[in-house]
Structure 1
């Protein structure tokens, strides 16, 4: 018989018994010859359907199988393995012992079955209501039947968030998911590499891999190795993914410092990308990304074992070649096609990418700063920046900039949230030359407009009202 691991125990037993008895049903023995046929079968050796051991069966057992099959319209069903009437009952475990097992499990859910059994033996000695304790196998079957299996101990986690994550993992279902369209959801994460490479300073360092993955197609939108995990590095890699594959509708990442930095989150908001973060200490929620690391380590890094002087450039060149010509084009077992084929054939809900300059302007921190009236400057990250004189009337200014590049600072219109112009750091050496520009007009004045003559309208109105009262002047004239 061919072995099929997907068959149940009942089916294996029925097919096994029918293979032994079936020939007697196909060619029934003549009257008085059944016993002889059964004797011949009892001397044969058979392979046990579940354990694989070599076994033989008595005439009595074979006779019982024969009559069961002969008297049934469906012989193979009648020969199936019958569940014992007491299969799901535990007569050796009393109600008192059952309560004791459950109470001990509630207090120590992280214990092994053996540890539970050993402690129960001690407790039973001091409890007169329980006569004896069953064997370890019985206790183990009982606990497995009622789901009293070993769980992670949340007390070993140091922080409250870690304890809550462990409890949530034990109490909540974990389900796989997949979005319906390409570029509907991207996954993003950093991975600490297992190899050390040589940097420009001649030091051996472990690199980090930034990888961005499309959920529906499993396509790697961008993968690049770096020496750090900062917001600048993240934006550098993510911008390349956007320019390669377009702008996605949503992004999932963990709660790393770079992922929740102001520059990155504000940039996603300006690009209308929904940012979903996994719960703390719950990497399984970003499972597709975590599984991908195994392929990078098991195939790409494994093929670099023979090279000793690996540099960052060489590692990125090798990664790009492996991703584009193997991973993207190889059939993915879960989706039954290559990621690149699925990416190109599925409906794409993404949007076209912006230019490099526009993307740089998006991934910036936006803050307010008070302008110094004395010299028309503002302070950003401990440095003074000069504000053009046409904005000298504004007390507070909105500024947009990335913290890693203070040469890329913009003034922003607070109402429309559009960029006005760049501002630059104060150049005191140039200012020491003594040359000063003329102040720009805050508002353009029409020089052709007629000039007002005489007194101001308000004073004229007040004098007319006073004259209408008829009162004499409230002063004594002299020398008029």
Structure 2
């Protein structure tokens, strides 16, 4: 049977006691204490929790441990790490304050927790009946438990955006991934942050077209274009087809280039299923959105097509 493991504070206390034990069992001569402490500070000790680590301590730390344990009846107890007074206590908010926070969140769902907390303190100061506002951590934990998280919805949403937000709130959102390579491709345009200068001396801000395999997350094709048109989309798709072959299905958003008649007819002719995401639902498109975080180092060296027919 394995020996029971000591509590963390007790393991640290025994370790500290082993460091200064020499000073307690064999006290140095008068005037030699600082020299003995300096010698202990020059040593390296094995970490009490991680045996693979070695640590050292400054003379002031060892001196503090020594004076704490010198006259104590239980040196192990005084050398243990001090436990926070609020450990194991769950602070709750008064009902009136909780209802005020709920009403504030329903009115301003775009605020972050710090803004809610600051305004709640002002409201509680004006209305003493609400009681004292707890710490920021308590308010943060309360908002997370109730699902009162900051939303990125627009301040003045359109009818379509309201429908999409209601659908997401009432229905479960699950992640998915096809089981085979080339079973599904994702396609998306992204506005680049760099500016380019053409041979005529005109500045442009290009768009990047990325085509990603859903199962392997392989980028089948990546290219910069000067415009998000059906012609550029078909050119990029053709490049991906020649590199990787034909997929079973293609998922895009509802952009004009993706819904163009030549795009849809071409995919039907090749036997590729065309699937589109729901309107105002970018979370359906995580595969390509995640890729744009790492695309910055690739854009400066990517090929830029001005004529999509080549």
TM-score, with length taken from structure 1: 0.45
- Higher normalized contact order (CA 8 Å, seq sep 6+, divided by chain length): 2
Q: Structure 2 matches for 1:92-241, cutoff 5 A?
A: 93-124=93-124, 127=127, 129-130=129-130, 132-137=131-136, 140-141=139-140, 143-144=142-143, 146-147=145-146, 149-152=148-151, 154-165=153-164, 176-199=175-198, 201-241=200-240
Aligned to 1:340: none
Equivalent-residue separation in structure 2 for 1:138 and 1:221 (angstroms): 45
Equivalent in 10, 14, 18 of residue 11 of structure 2: 18
Secondary structure of 1:224's match? strand
Aligned to 2:277: 278
Number of residue-to-residue matches in the alignment: 271
Deviation at 1:109, TM superposition (A): 2.8
Equivalent in 74, 81, 90 of residue 88 of structure 1: 90
Aligned to 1:307: none
Secondary structure of 2:139's match? helix
Q: Does 2:65 align with 1:63?
A: no
The C-alpha deviation readout for 1:399-425, integer Å capped at 9, x for no partner, is xxxxx9xxxxxxxxxxxxxxxxxxxxx
Q: Residues 65 and 242 from structure 1, CA distance in 2 versus in 1: closer, same or farther, beyond 3 angstroms?
A: same
In structure 1, stretches of 5+ residues that fail to align are 1-10, 69-78, 305-310, 317-403, 405-480
Deviation at 1:259, TM superposition (A): 0.6
Contact 2:13 2:77 in 1 (8 A): no
Q: Structure 2 matches for 1:383-462, cutoff 5 A?
A: none
In structure 2, stretches of 5+ residues that fail to align are 29-36, 50-57
Secondary structure of 1:244's match? helix
The C-alpha deviation readout for 1:250-272, integer Å capped at 9, x for no partner, is 11111110111122123223333
Deviation at 1:184, TM superposition (A): 0.5
Equivalent-residue separation in structure 1 for 2:86 and 2:11 (angstroms): 20
Equivalent-residue separation in structure 1 for 2:276 and 2:288 (angstroms): 13
Equivalent-residue separation in structure 1 for 2:137 and 2:184 (angstroms): 49
Higher helix share: 2
Secondary structure of 1:247's match? coil
Equivalent-residue separation in structure 2 for 1:275 and 1:192 (angstroms): 23
Q: Residues 193 and 99 from structure 1, CA distance in 2 versus in 1: closer, same or farther, beyond 3 angstroms?
A: closer
Contact 1:250 1:275 in 2 (8 A): yes
Task: Answer with 1 or 2: which has the greater Rg.
Answer: 1
Contact 1:207 1:226 in 2 (8 A): yes
Secondary structure of 2:295's match? helix
Superposition CA RMSD, Å: 4.6
Contact 1:17 1:65 in 2 (8 A): no
Contact 1:14 1:80 in 2 (8 A): no
